[in-house]
Structure 1
Amino acid sequence: MYRVMLLPADADTRELRRALWAARVGHRITEESEGQLLWLADPGQHEALLDVVGRWQRGEPLPVDAPRRHSMSAGALPSVLRQAPLTAATLGLCLLVFAAMAVFGDMVIALLAIVPLGISSAGTLSVGSLPDVLASGQVWRLLSPAFLHFGWMHLVFNMLWLWYFGRQVEALQGSRRLLVIVLAAGIGANLAQYAAGTALFGGMSGVDFALLGYVWLMSRRAPGSGFFVPQMLVVFMLGWMLFTMTDMAAAVGFGNVANEAHLGGLVVGLALGWYHSRGARR
């Protein structure tokens, strides 16, 4: 979200909101101590927003019906990618790894797992150790399990939340901040899962829960920062995390879940959100 202008605190903005949504201008209005702050989702719609606001301020008739839906313009997708290049790159890398797993199978998993995996001469699974991994310089293994996904549903849901939260962080605070969250949460979630005694795991869900915690805490502690997450979405995701920790989840086929990675990622996201929201509040 991008700050646009401050509106009077006592202004009735209901008609303005309806007109902006009718014009398909993504926006948000937050209540601040000095007035109502208008935010814009896509900077490419700045002129359209100013036109509607100007007509609203002059008391002119405003559009209340949404225009006929058109197909996405040729420049729409590049515009979205320019706003969130790291989010798009991370999502693309997950898709690429998933495709490589379909072609090369276990070879990709063995290469990207947190420790080397293989089959011993006795036919049992051989598992390397993390100290040996670090001593040999294979530091990418601390992060790489986050890019492994073991099914379409696993991939789709993780990419959905990555796209939803990642774009918001990148648009409001830049790619560097998102990179810090992805690295810290990815490594933190993987180490938490490994510490629980699991060597074969994967998924971007630890990062997703970190982004959830970060965005939620920023929206609560620094409401003027522009971050927003529906409260019911927070309840749903935390409820899902708790549900997968129970025996009931295993009984209905959701037992093989990296619960420690989810919790580890959430803790990292909350810690980063608490730290950065202090500066946003000041």
Structure 2
Amino acid sequence: MNWNRKIYQLAMAVGCSIFLSATAPKTSPAPQKPNVLVIFVDDLGWADLSSYGSTFYETPNLDRLAASGVRFTDAYAAAAICSPSRSALMTGKYPARTGITDWIRARFQNGAVEFGGKNKAEYERDLTQKLACPPIPFELPLAEKTTAEYLKEQGYFTAYIGKWHLGTDDFYPEKQGFDVNIGGSDFGQPPSYFDPYTAPNTGPIPTLKPRKTGEYLTDRETDEVINLVRTHKNKPFYINYAPYAVHTPLGGKPELIEKYTAKTPTTQ
């Protein structure tokens, strides 16, 4: 089963839960709180879905979601780069408010030189460019209240699956209001898209244990989300699913690479 179809099944399951909650009788003494699933895809361009005009990429199941739900045509991420958009989603604040206006370097990228709330005096400042990156925090501060923390106060089970990229161990999702963290770490990109998800210069994803050699990372992440939905379906949950794909290093399943290599090229 491909991950596109899994996403559709997952969203349909959550959608049914929300629908049932919304249509509960008005006489119900304690209306069920809706379940919340956020799928936040890194580096996915708006034109990369066929429901938004792509004539090259095929996304039939996501298109079904678009057809049966609401499709936004004038909505924008808070930033066009990973860490700032993630901090904005977690806090509801513009990147300038948290100071995270560029992507945060992981430990293996020498991003731990001055951790502990400090900023670099010079942050990869390229003097050949007209604009320079200002110093930024190395993490999303724990003082910032996240969506997960707000919902936990309302009795929600909270889980984070996939790419976090908002700080090292002391700032992982479980420190920011999430009950469960599967795959979230300081990594901004996966060492590999195939189990055991490791590379010589980075080591494995520290919060995702290998399961089946060669298994594709997005399939694994989606399976984890589906299991959480099934396990916690009888109480309100908030699940934030942030697949590492389609971020670099680009890597797809061999059969999909073969399929798209055979297609007529387009501008995408």
Do both proteins adopt the same fold according to a TM-score greater than 0.5, normalized to the shorter chain?
no
TM range (shorter): under 0.3
Given the two structures, how large is their TM-score scaled by the length of structure 2? 0.25
Structure with the larger helix share: 1
* Higher RCO (CA-CA < 8 Å; seq separation 6+): 2
Given the two structures, how large is their TM-score scaled by the length of structure 1? 0.24
